[in-house]
Amino acid sequence: MKFLTAGLATLCALVSVVQANPTHQFDQFFPGWNQRVQDILRDNCSEPYANYLADNGDPSEGVQFLVNNLIDCVLEVFPESRKAELATGALVLGLIPTILQSIGSSTVETALVGIRRPVLGFLISAGSPAVAMMKTNDFARSVTEFVEGGDPSELGIERLRSSPRRAIWAVLIALLEYIVVGGAVANVLQLAWELGYHAVAIFAPNTIFGVPLWTLGAALIHIAGCVALWVRVRIHHVDAKTYNSHTKPLNTWVPAQFIPAVFQPSMVFDLRQDRSSSFWFYSLTWIISIGTLAQVAFGTLVLSGLLFFSLADCLIIVGRYTLSAIACRAVLRLELAGMAAARDAARQRTKDHDVAETEQFVTQGWKGQPPDMTTLRLNHYCEYQTSDLSQQPPFIPAKCRVISPDFAWLTSIAKQPGGGDVSGPARRFLEFHSGWLPLEYVIDLLRDYRTSKSPDDVVITLAVRTPLCKGHKGGFKDTTLEYIMYAILKATRERMGFSPELVEDICMGNVSDGKAAYKARAAALAAGFPNTTGASSVNRFCSSGLKATADIAHAIAAGSIEIGIAAGAESMTVGGDRLEAPFDEEVLKYSQEARDCMEAMGWTSENVARDFGLTREDIDEYAAESFRRAEAAQKAGWFDDEIVPVTTKVKGPDGELKEVTLSKDEGIRPGTTAAGLGKIRAAFPQWGPITTGGNASQVTDGASAVVLMKRSKAIQLSLPVLAKYVGSTVAGLPPRIMGIGPTVAIPKLLKQHNLTLEDCDVIEVNEAFATMAVYTKNFLKLDWNKMNPRGGAIALGHPLGTTGTRQIVTGLSECRRTKKKILLTSMCIGTGMGMAGLFVNEQ
């Protein structure tokens, strides 16, 4: 009867395990899994076990035979998983005491009870879709790498001798993780209690305060299991929306392998936004609790002698397996349902977007200081994600799962958004930061990715400019373009802090002079750069300076050069080709927009005002504020650290040239008011009444420059890093309203880098006309306190080729003064374009 009971119980257990996995759902993750398991169990366990008993008749050895076959089955079902091997090792270790206890004993049921829980827990967890997904994650790889590249299941004496601490930690972490993954905390405790009970039963009393010792132990295990389940519930319900930072982020990182993995949840469902799922999740708690209580009741009845032995054993084993199967089936179904719910929620969130994994943005709450970056991306795996920890364009995605109020798990994706492997330096950076980290530090990394630094970052080590002088009547009115170029390059060479021979290329932005390439090269040589330093000019109208910066930065990032200078220079007084030669009508006749490219900029300004309903009062009010801010900044000395004095010659009223040193911007008009600007007549009455000489940018002469190189080079040369170049982009729009170019360029750039306007601290928008500035501010809902805090081109002037780099110089100076981080620059571009640049202050 005992043999029959044992065989029947074993078969019921194995069948219940298989039935606990819904075939039609589970086959999504393991095709043919259900049938495969049944075949393996039948061929390797049930039939051989029956034959073995028939031939030998020794139940104790039969149990050992069955255990060995079960382990072989497990490895055959999951041969690809190193985690399965680790868990199998743990299973064997856990079974040894029970097997030894069974040998020489006729109590087959004791052995079956001992092996039931670990076998069941392992099979359920190893077959879980959550574990299937985790088999490819970074944790298994990190454990493998942690033990020096070997298979964790092959840890031997030599490895223990060479690195016992590392090996022991690897084994413990793997075992702890698997215990949690399988949800087997209570199972392990139950096994320990069953073994311990037999060990102490000889010496300990049968009852304590009238309560059977077995019942008391089982009750304590039930409580421990409920606590473990509650901990997992709490872990899964950490809500970052309400998380508040109370302490400063730690500037240290903790290796993943030295944090007990018991705190890492394995289930992938997130029920924070689904109340019905939450209801079922908490219902599962009661299912497991009732099952455990039923097990305790069965045990109590048996120990009290109220049930006959054989019938009681049959009921206990079959009943406990059935309840466990029901609970495990509920876990699996809930897990699958949670995954489907998360996937459906993601699809609902992203149905209006082109990319299937577009993330919703979650605003974090912070105390103590205003946040630099308040948005993190939430993907459909419910992990907090931001897309730049390495600054190796294009940005490398990184994922972070918030585990508890204290720790988080940071991992990296091995593929870039557009495909392709992550570069070596970027991968090394992410691997250095991956693993268990204090949550404060992780959130700081995610919200303030700018502080993360890579040797491959393109950085700015110097940013300077000349004073901006009034065209035709200011300090540079008698100065040639090549001398202005020479002046800014000479000042750059004197201040950059290293030999000019290291500079490999200079790119000069210029618009109005067709001979700018000649002049840029000559000016560089005259300024003291060797003939081994290249030089060129670039012209994309008002964005020429920013384009020069992007060209040099991209050349550095690509490895073409190590150090370069991006500059912009313009003499609008002298000017150059004014497009006086007629354009080929054969080209223009094919497109109205092609003809619009030839129109005056004043015409485009009036088009913006007319098309978007801007009033003269609003325009003049904006212009007056630009003058007020520039005046305040100049009086406070805010421009002093960015301007390099230039000595030149100016022709006086008597016609004689006098040497002067220029150090102040000349376009600022103290005391300018909107009322005063309202009295100025329209500059382009033939097209409209809005644009005037008071609310448009000034004709100006000047130059500016920035020195760029890789961070590794800056460190090698012991140079201070002012800022990091993040990226830039250009976008097109109808030429007739070219002034609103920033409204298309800025969103494009921010989207590329997963930022919002709220993340930007200082925003420099070129004020070619107040019409375009007002429309851009209103359309993008820009914070006016962040936009042009020192005034813009209306007050300072707009030397066409210079503005792109001048905005960088001024914006970074403002970031340093106010201790801000992200600088966004943008400008409209003649013929219908807009450009934007993104920089990170590091001072």
Amino acid at site 394: P
* Angstrom distance (rounded) from CA 203 to CA 198: 10
In which element (H, E) is residue 508 found? strand 505-509
Residue in the block written with tokens 């993750």: 29
Q: Is the peptide bond before 394 cis (omega within 30 degrees of 0)?
A: yes
Burial class (CB in 10 A: 0-12, 13-18, 19+), 265: buried
Amino acid at site 652: G
Measure CA of the first residue to CA of the last residue in the chain; give whole Å: 82
Residue 651, phi then psi, degrees to nearest 5: -85, 125
CA 169 remoteness from chain centre: 29
Q: Is 77 helix (H, G, I), strand (E, B) or coil?
A: helix
The residues, ordered by sequence, that sit 6+ positions from 715 with a Cβ below 8 Å of its Cβ are 455
From the candidates 73, 314, 382, 828, which is the catalytic residue? 828
Write out 20-48 in H/E/C secondary structure: CCCHHHHCCCCCCHHHHHHHHHHHHHHHH
Q: Is 171 helix (H, G, I), strand (E, B) or coil?
A: helix
Contact present, 691 and 609 (Cβ < 8 Å):
yes
Bridge partner list, 827: 835
CB-side neighbour CA atoms (13 Å) of 503: 30
* Angstrom distance (rounded) from CA 88 to CA 73: 11
**Can you list the alpha helix ranges (DSSP code H) found in 781-831?**
793-796, 803-818
From the candidates 400, 469, 542, 760, which is the catalytic residue? 542
Question: Catalytic: 798?
Answer: yes
* Angstrom distance (rounded) from CA 19 to CA 84: 21
The residues, ordered by sequence, that sit 6+ positions from 299 with a Cβ below 8 Å of its Cβ are 214, 215, 218, 316
DSSP class of residue 151 equals -
How many residues does this entry show for the chain? 843
Report the DSSP pairing between strands 244-245 and 365-366: parallel
The residues, ordered by sequence, that sit 6+ positions from 544 with a Cβ below 8 Å of its Cβ are 509, 510, 511, 538, 568, 800, 801, 804
DSSP class of residue 696 equals B
Residue 488, phi then psi, degrees to nearest 5: -70, -35
* Angstrom distance (rounded) from CA 218 to CA 212: 10
Going 544 to 549 to 553 to 555, the CA torsion angle's sign is: positive
* Angstrom distance (rounded) from CA 131 to CA 100: 31
Task: Give the angle subtended at the CA of 276 by the CAs of 273 and 280, to the nearest 5°.
Answer: 115
**How would DSSP label each residue in 254-287?**
--GGGS-GGG--------TT-HHHHHHHHHHHHH
Which two three-digit tokens encode residue 358? Answer: 């577009």
Going 433 to 434 to 435 to 441, the CA torsion angle's sign is: positive
Q: Is 840 helix (H, G, I), strand (E, B) or coil?
A: strand
**Can you list the alpha helix ranges (DSSP code H) found in 147-212?**
157-162, 164-181, 185-200
Contact present, 819 and 369 (Cβ < 8 Å):
no
DSSP class of residue 819 equals T
* Angstrom distance (rounded) from CA 578 to CA 597: 14
Residues tagged active-site: 542, 798, 828
